[in-house]
């Protein structure tokens, strides 16, 4: 029987936040991604857990205590030299070590150590596991280029997602009598997330409908997100809209928050899965997404064209139930496929 341990590095900015009551069970996308996989494995009778650690010095202790067959490092934070130390420890000789990559190339490009570390991982025999088909194709090519014909070091391990719509019947979809539209563009500010363009689209759509706008965002900024955050605030203020900033919330609180909006936009320039769009679909809200989120019903907005996105919004908002149900069907297909892939990969 396989026994899987998922390790995340604790975020320093959260570790000092008393609102988390020292639990550190933060609702980051990466934490949710690992937790969703663990929940699927446990539901299928496998042993698995997720642990947050301070840094690489905690890995030996956690692996020794849990005695896993497979270890999954979530993201690029373990140095190649630390892996060399771990591989030399006798009690870990039977462990399969993985590093899960949660980005496509445009996001990965901002990680200065990415290609250096990934190539060193592969040379050490560490499995590098992308969660997106395009990233899998590119790293498979790299592995073959480096190591000959052997591509077994690059397994494709997608996001899992808990799909259960029974708790979220479609309701509160009529915005006819509302004077203010509530449009969400959640997720940490990053340049590739395209927040400013979506703020323009939201403002213009509300104006088309003769309504004011409440634009809901998270207050978190990552990897160059300070500029987009300031620009969004400046635009919304200048155009007479209201900017509602949500702090980082645990999953159940966030599902409650997203269930109160009228529409979610995720017109990202680069994505692998997008848990925020899946959460909006789960609670029964319409979404406008870019084609990067390819499990959604294939009516995608061009992230660089305000006019195209306004046209798509008109179509989606006039047929909300149809598109929500289409998104739910697509998400369900994706989730079932991901579950099977993980169970097949880990075997008995």
Q: Which residues contact 324 (CB under 8 A, 6 or more apart)?
A: 170, 281, 284, 285, 286
Shared fold status for 3-157 and 165-333: yes
Distance CA 348, CA 344 (A): 8
* pLDDT tier for residue 248 given thresholds of 50, 70 and 90: confident
pLDDT of 12: 52
Model confidence over 157-188: pLDDT tens digits?
999 999 999 999 998 899 999 999 999 999 99
Radius of gyration in angstroms for the set of CA atoms belonging to the chain, rounded to a whole number: 21
Task: Tell me 259's DSSP state.
Answer: T
Distance CA 212, CA 239 (A): 10
pLDDT of 16: 42
17: pLDDT strictly greater than 90: no
What CATH number matches the domain at 3-157, 3.40.50.2300, 3.20.20.70, 3.40.50.2000, 3.40.50.300? 3.40.50.2000
25: pLDDT strictly greater than 60: no
CATH class for the region spanning 165-333 = alpha beta
Q: Give pTM, 2 decimals.
A: 0.93
Model confidence over 261-279: pLDDT tens digits?
999 999 999 999 999 999 9
Torsion, Cα 149 154 156 158, to 10 degrees, reads -170
> What are the structural domain ranges in the chain?
3-157, 165-333
């Amino acid at each position: 029987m396989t026994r899987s341990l998922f390790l995340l590095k604790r975020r320093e900015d959260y570790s000092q936040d008393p609102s988390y009551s020292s639990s550190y069970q933060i609702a980051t996308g990466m934490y949710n991604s690992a937790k969703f996989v663990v929940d699927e494995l446990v539901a299928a009778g496998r042993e698995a857990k997720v642990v947050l650690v301070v840094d690489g010095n905690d890995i030996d202790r956690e692996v020794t205590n849990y005695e896993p067959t497979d270890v999954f490092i979530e993201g690029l934070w373990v140095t190649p030299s630390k892996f060399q130390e771990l591989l030399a420890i006798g009690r870990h000789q039977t462990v399969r070590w993985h590093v899960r990559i949660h980005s496509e190339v445009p996001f990965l490009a901002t990680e200065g150590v990415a290609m250096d570390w990934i190539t060193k991982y592969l040379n050490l025999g560490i499995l590098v596991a992308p969660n997106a088909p395009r990233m899998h194709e590119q790293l498979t090519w790299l592995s073959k280029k480096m190591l000959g014909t052997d591509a077994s070091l690059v397994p494709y391990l997608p996001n899992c997602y808990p799909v259960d719509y029974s708790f979220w019947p479609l309701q509160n979809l009529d915005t006819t009598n509302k004077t203010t539209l509530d449009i969400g563009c959640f997720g940490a500010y990053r340049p590739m997330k395209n927040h400013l363009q979506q703020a323009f689209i939201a403002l213009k759509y509300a104006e088309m409908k003769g309504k004011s706008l409440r634009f809901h965002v998270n207050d978190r900024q990552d990897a160059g997100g300070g500029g987009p955050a300031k620009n969004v605030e400046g635009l919304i203020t200048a155009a007479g809209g209201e900017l509602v900033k949500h702090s980082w919330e645990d999953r159940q609180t966030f599902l409650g928050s997203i269930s109160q909006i009228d529409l979610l936009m995720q017109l990202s320039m680069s994505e692998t899965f997008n848990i925020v769009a899946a959460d909006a679909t789960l609670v029964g809200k319409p979404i406008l997404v870019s084609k990067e989120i390819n499990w959604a019903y294939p009516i995608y907005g061009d992230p660089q064209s305000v006019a195209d996105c306004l046209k798509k919004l008109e179509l989606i908002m006039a047929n909300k139930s149809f598109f929500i149900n289409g998104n739910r069907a697509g998400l369900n297909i994706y989730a079932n496929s991901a579950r099977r892939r993980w169970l097949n990969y880990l075997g008995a």
